[in-house]
């Protein structure tokens, strides 16, 4: 058994397990070398040998308590036949899908597995390579976040284009959410079949919605995904990350099918500790900016976070992903500090 899985399942633990979102990423020189060898970013995601290599790099370097599959949330759009490109310096660029005929064209869910086969192969290889006490986290983007890219054509602060489409073309929007929900269910089932121990769902743009929209288009599709996948794999835990939803985290907390709630850095820790943590295992909250700061500043924040969350099961992580300018020494400092704690 692993410390991470014990914590995910709400068991009493001696210290928080630790892993980071984007722990395999550009802040690591090893990653940059492998990325250059692969060619494009998509080539790296679809090369199971190299994707396995970069997934293992932070485990071997820092000793994180869990590994997360190296992939990208937008691979499922690519597998559905959407034109997805990753442009250096610009990020993902997607050919928008808005019209009914465009939606119908990509509504071929059984076809996704051929394109995504290398991802499943990466999972299988990782399960052979990882230490037995280091679980593998599979993941997917939530339907709303995927829809923002599909409609906007790229990442857009505030997701205004997608929100207008939601309001003004609601019938087509509902079709998109339904399609992405069903495709994600199939995708995650295959990840678990390949060996993923835990699944995380990222709703990175959930905070762009108002409260009613969050409940309808973030929480409900995620809930459907989790319920449907758990019908086949009832023992697979789910981590849900509805980023920037403020006190609506309480609504996510009330859903029994969600095993862990990942929290961002914008929520008050005292509120989390009082309103969420007694009911649900939590993960996250450290602002990634502190990994770019002097050791003394980072340590002050580390102590605050771990002190505030010490009464209940807690997985140490960030409020979002590691940034490319993060200090490798600071990452090591955090991991070593967390591993030295006694709760």
Catalytic positions, written as ranges: 22, 26, 35, 72, 149
Task: Annotate 284-332 with DSSP letters as a single string.
Answer: E-B-GGGGGS-HHHHHHHHHHHHHHTTTS-EEB-BSSPPPTT--HHHHH
Spatial separation of the C-alpha atoms in residues 323 and 223, rounded to whole Å: 29
Name the residue among 173, 155, 177 with its Cα closest to residue 164.
Answer: 173
Work out whether strand 198-203 and strand 238-242 pair parallel, antiparallel, or are unpaired.
parallel
Spatial separation of the C-alpha atoms in residues 36 and 320, rounded to whole Å: 25
Spatial separation of the C-alpha atoms in residues 339 and 333, rounded to whole Å: 10
Query: What is the radius of gyration, based on Cα positions, of the chain?
Result: 19
Torsion-angle region of 18 (φ positive above 0: left; ψ -120 to 50: alpha; else: beta): beta
């Amino acid at each position: 058994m692993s410390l991470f899985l014990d914590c995910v399942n709400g068991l009493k633990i001696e210290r928080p397990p630790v892993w980071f979102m984007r722990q395999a990423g550009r802040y690591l020189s090893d990653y940059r070398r492998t990325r250059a060898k692969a060619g494009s970013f998509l080539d790296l995601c679809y090369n199971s040998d190299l994707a396995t290599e970069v997934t293992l790099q932070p485990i071997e370097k820092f000793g994180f308590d869990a590994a997360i599959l190296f992939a990208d949330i937008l691979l499922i759009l690519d597998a559905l036949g959407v034109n997805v490109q990753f442009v250096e310096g610009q990020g993902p660029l997607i050919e928008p899908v808005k019209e009914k005929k465009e939606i119908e064209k990509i509504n071929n869910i059984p076809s996704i597995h051929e394109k995504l086969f290398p991802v499943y192969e990466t999972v299988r290889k990782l399960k052979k390579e990882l230490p037995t006490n280091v679980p593998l986290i599979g993941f997917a983007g939530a339907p709303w976040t995927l829809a923002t890219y599909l409609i906007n054509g790229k990442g857009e602060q505030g997701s205004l284009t997608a929100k207008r489409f939601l309001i003004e073309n609601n019938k087509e929007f509902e079709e998109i959410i339904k399609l992405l929900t069903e495709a994600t269910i199939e995708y995650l089932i295959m990840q678990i079949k390949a060996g993923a121990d835990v699944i995380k769902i990222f709703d990175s743009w959930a905070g762009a919605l108002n409260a009613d929209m969050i409940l309808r288009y973030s929480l409900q599709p995620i809930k459907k995904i989790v319920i449907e996948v758990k019908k086949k794999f009832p023992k697979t835990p789910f981590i849900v990350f509805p980023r920037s939803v403020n006190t609506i985290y309480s609504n996510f907390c009330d859903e029994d099918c969600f095993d862990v709630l990942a929290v961002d850095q914008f929520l008050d820790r005292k509120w989390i500790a009082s309103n969420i943590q007694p009911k649900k295992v939590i993960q996250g909250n450290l602002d990634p900016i502190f990994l770019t700061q002097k050791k003394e500043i980072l340590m002050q924040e580390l102590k605050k976070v771990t002190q505030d969350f010490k009464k209940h099961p807690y997985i140490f992580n960030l409020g979002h992903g590691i940034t490319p300018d993060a200090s490798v020494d600071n990452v090591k400092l955090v991991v070593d500090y967390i591993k030295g704690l006694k709760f």
